[in-house]
Structure 1
Amino acid sequence: MRKITCTLLLLMGGIAALANVHPIKSPDGKLCVNVEEENGMLTYSIEYEGKKMMLPSLLGLKSDIGDYTCGLKVTDVRKRKVAYSYSMAGTKASSRNYEANAVDFVVSSSGAERLMTLEFQVSNNDIAYRYHLEGAKTNDQDEPRRTTILAEVSGFKFPENTTTFMCPQIDGDHKGWMSTKPSYEEEYKADAPMAEKSKYGKGYTFPCLFHIGDDGWVLVSETGVGSNYCGGHLSDYEEDTGYTLAYPDVTEQHGLGSSTPAISLPGATPWRTITVGSSLKPIVETTIPYDVVDEMFQPREAYKPGRYTWSWLIWQDNSINYEDQKEFVDVAAAMGFEYCLVDNWWDARIGRDKIEELSRYAQSKGVSLMLWYNSNGNVND
């Protein structure tokens, strides 16, 4: 494998190189992504209705089989239309007709032997992109069949007048109830300046909302994170590069798993998603988390959302016993609710045999049980 060392700079003084810009427009023509190839690096910027919503931001990744952040060259550009329909229960829209303009950029790197493909899909108000790495070219057993993604440099740089609505990420060094942090218990801060550092110095948890002055709103998140990949978040803001896609802190999960994901080859990263609008309406209504992912399996039964009673909310831990839960099943039945939620420690305080009995009793009343489960690394209850 060839090796190369480079410094990531958006502006490289003294080097005369012509920029090669590839625009990708949404079907309605209002949203435009400009992918730019210059000085061996790739950036993208976003305009909506002619207004700048994102400034040139870096693209690329580093893996243990090659560096795809500099020394890059677009060798092929493949344009295509994407259109399909799907239905889902319990989401914002029960049926969805998805249409997007897609472009695949085939990219070579002076620091890698294999090609990378950068895939963009641009629909009305939504952008999704991800990276593909190709598989082995021969049957040689020495050719890598997997790779560790060491880092993404995917950037998100906004105009100076932008303010933020974001939740700070916290490290996992035995913090919070039962050492479960980072978790959902941090608070969003409204209308904060970009230059303000995150509360814990660990960046921000997805989704992240940005107010681009009087011009509109941008929501940044991700989707399509499978079991072979880690969830990402945003770094703290840097003046030159903006925000960068960051991987988990090494203290998270207390040694279970890795903070750098490994994928088989050929393989792809999760999607990085961006929703853009002149108002919050497209942000609230976006279905991009579902639009670009494939169905993983067919469930054996239809799982339906519904209302539930929950003893812990008013009676706390001591209510996790058979008799109290039976009362709350009765309350759910009397109110016409679909479920009764049994909170933590049901397996120890009620037991699996009695839970089966409680389930049969609930079913006789037209109520289903929901059982609480804590996924906390090697310590679960």
Structure 2
Amino acid sequence: MKFRIYVFIGFLFGILPTFSQQLKLQSPNKKNRVELFSMNAGNRGEWYLKVSYNTDKNTSEILPKVHLGLSRNDQDFSKELLFLKASKSKMIKEHYELPFGKKAVRDNEANEVVVSFENPSKAKLNLIIRAYNDGITFRYEFPEKKGTYSLKDEFTAYEIPNKSMRWLEKWNPANEGLYAASSEDKLLQQEWCYPALFNSVDKSCWYLLHEADLDRNYCGTKLSNMQDVNTYKLTFPDPRDGRGTGESKPNISLPWQSPWRVITIGSLADIVESTLVEDVSTPTNFKNSDWVKPGKVSWNYWSSNHGTKDYKIVCDFTDLAVKMDWPYTLLDWEWDGMTNGGNLEDALKYIHSKGIKPLMWYNSGGDHTWVSSTPKNRMLTHENRVEEFTKLKKLGVAGVKIDFFESEKQNMIQYYLDILEDAAQFEMMVYFHGCIVPRGWSRTYPNLMTYEAVRGAEWYNNGSEFSVTAPEHNTILPFTRNVVGAMDYTPVTFTNSQFPHHTSYGHELALSVIFESPLQHLADRPEGYYELPDEAKTFLKEVPTVWDNTKLIDGYPGQEVTMARQKGDTWYIGGISASERQEKTKKIKLNFLKEGMSYRAVIITDGKHDKDFNSQVMVVDKTSAIEVKLLRRGGFVVSLNPIRN
């Protein structure tokens, strides 16, 4: 598919007032507003943004202060900034397409202003601000044409009103923690992962903090409220990350722009359906992406941690992919030590003979990781990658999974992007594990299929804790981690691994719709799928991994979520509950269906107990509603196929 990007720029007059102490910018739909203020009475000093959300009834001040500024090794750009000018408001209007994700076609609009500052030594700093219909973004710019510096600190910090509810994940380099809800009486002070979700004090809106368009010229940041419990400051990586390799402070060359600081704003539906992180990211320069082929993957690691060392297990999972009409199977770690009837070459020959495409795992290698599992170091340098990708292309391998990055320092960001660029030269799909949370790279590199960066089903192997926490965790992820990009949770497991499920079979089946990932690794052992009733088995054969449209029907983080996703004329609905005590009966309105069209609805809900299904078929249309029953920690799915006369 060729990418079509149209940018229409027009000037809007009357949006900016004459500058005295503040500047205002509104989104095209006038719901989101950002204002620029000085801490001092005049036009010199420290500056901050105020972000507000407008409803039909009132205006909610959701972020009273977003502190601004940078510090370079040569001088400061925060305390004595002189306001020089603000540009006229410019409209940004974009249309683009991606071969995967929550929406195939993206349209976004924003109003943009560039504010120019000067520090006491006459060095320039620009602040680029955009007001989108689904959020506010801003970035810093050093416009001068030459110079190389180290950034000592970034002072961007979000002041959160004390009574705001928040959902945050404690910082860890693999981004594999649990989100915890907290409010004014239970606030912890520590470092936090992206993205971070907040509910405004008056409950009128929600907002999600993240960053996007991170490139080679910066490091990944995180949030810290160590200095003030209600102020979340952007923080550079810990020097100890990646076993101490790489610099924690980024080096930059002018001219330079920071990543976008992204505040997605609106209802919970606006948050879930937003593509703002990709909207502000750099468009691809790929001429086409016809070779990018999303799909479902059989995966043997969850049920057998060392399964790829066993040729017969590899063959069993290949046969699973054949029987379930899934295009891929993954050879996870240790494929270079395969025995029990065959080696790698034998396995690849078998996989290809069945019409399945192989994906292969690699250790990212190098001194930044403690993990010694092989194959290691084959992706570490450009020369390594060219040699390995050349071999893989000849072997008919479609993509690579690369694991254990353990750092978000600038050198590691550069490593991620080097991998993606080299892989693209060989038309090789890539996905990352033990890695960074998405930063919009899939728009720039459409061969980047998915990321882990989540506490997923693998954690059933790591201890008993996930059995208890998974039901609630699963209902938080659609409002947090999965909003900002593909998420390789490796869902839909019915049998037990080392520790048991507390979720129902209906809950597990629904994760195939609830969680979005272009390469969706369905992680159960073969018998876990073979023993399903025909309706559930058919659903897992047919459910897509890429979508034309996504809608949140209802939900609340930590309690429940129901989502509808569209592919062509067919809709799929998935719903899950975290309730430990109550069964639920829900009525799902189908008013998003096409006018005048009837649909064959296949409804699969929890049955009499958590390992049982109940299925029914009915004809519905736009005026219909479907009633479904969920057990405790339960779930359901619906497929809606148009009936053509």
When normalised by structure 2's length, the TM-score is 0.50
Aligned amino acid, residue 347 of structure 2: L
In 2: Cα distance, 1:33 partner to 1:295 partner: 25
In 2: Cα distance, 1:101 partner to 1:307 partner: 39
Q: 1:99 aligned to 106, 109, 127, which one?
A: 109
Q: 1:290 aligned to 278, 297, 300, which one?
A: 278
63 and 286 in structure 1: CA distance in 2 versus 1, 3 angstrom threshold: same
CA RMSD of aligned residues (A): 2.3
* Structure with a larger share of its residues in helix: 2
CA contact (8 A) 1:37 1:73 kept: no
Q: Does 1:164 align with 2:152?
A: no
| CA-CA distance at 1:360 after TM superposition | 4.3
In 2: Cα distance, 1:262 partner to 1:335 partner: 49
CA contact (8 A) 1:228 1:261 kept: yes
> 1:63 — aligned with what?
72
* Structure with a larger share of its residues in strand: 1
> 1:20 — aligned with what?
21
Give the 5 Å matches for 1:1-381: 20-39=21-40, 40-49=45-54, 50-78=59-87, 79-110=89-120, 112-136=121-145, 145-170=147-172, 182-193=173-184, 196-198=187-189, 201=190, 203-213=191-201, 214-236=203-225, 238-239=227-228, 242-277=231-266, 279-298=267-286, 301-349=290-338, 354-375=343-364, 377-378=366-367, 379=369, 381=376
184 and 321 in structure 1: CA distance in 2 versus 1, 3 angstrom threshold: farther
In 1: Cα distance, 2:174 partner to 2:185 partner: 23
CA contact (8 A) 1:163 1:194 kept: no
Aligned amino acid, residue 85 of structure 1: H
In 1: Cα distance, 2:293 partner to 2:303 partner: 25
CA contact (8 A) 1:253 1:377 kept: no
44 and 368 in structure 1: CA distance in 2 versus 1, 3 angstrom threshold: same
> 2:563 — aligned with what?
none
| CA-CA distance at 1:321 after TM superposition | 2.8
CA contact (8 A) 2:307 2:314 kept: no
In 2: Cα distance, 1:273 partner to 1:376 partner: 32
| CA-CA distance at 1:334 after TM superposition | 1.4
Q: What's the secondary structure of 1:372's corresponding residue? A: strand
Aligned amino acid, residue 309 of structure 1: S
241 and 152 in structure 1: CA distance in 2 versus 1, 3 angstrom threshold: farther
In 2: Cα distance, 1:225 partner to 1:239 partner: 26
Q: Which runs of 5+ in 1 are unaligned?
A: 1-17, 137-143, 171-181
In 2: Cα distance, 1:105 partner to 1:320 partner: 58
In 2: Cα distance, 1:291 partner to 1:273 partner: 11
Higher RCO structure (Cα 8 Å, ≥6 apart): 1
Q: What's the secondary structure of 1:206's corresponding residue? A: coil
Deviations 1:28-59 (A, max 9, x none): 11110011134211100111011111112211
Deviations 1:332-381 (A, max 9, x none): 1111012112211223447xx95455334323322222222343652464
Identity %: 27
In 2: Cα distance, 1:273 partner to 1:292 partner: 9
98 and 360 in structure 1: CA distance in 2 versus 1, 3 angstrom threshold: farther
| CA-CA distance at 1:258 after TM superposition | 1.1
CA contact (8 A) 2:124 2:144 kept: no
321 and 19 in structure 1: CA distance in 2 versus 1, 3 angstrom threshold: farther
Deviations 1:185-217 (A, max 9, x none): 21111234487224xx3x100000111132221
Q: What's the secondary structure of 1:313's corresponding residue? A: coil
349 and 356 in structure 1: CA distance in 2 versus 1, 3 angstrom threshold: closer
Q: What's the secondary structure of 2:195's corresponding residue? A: strand
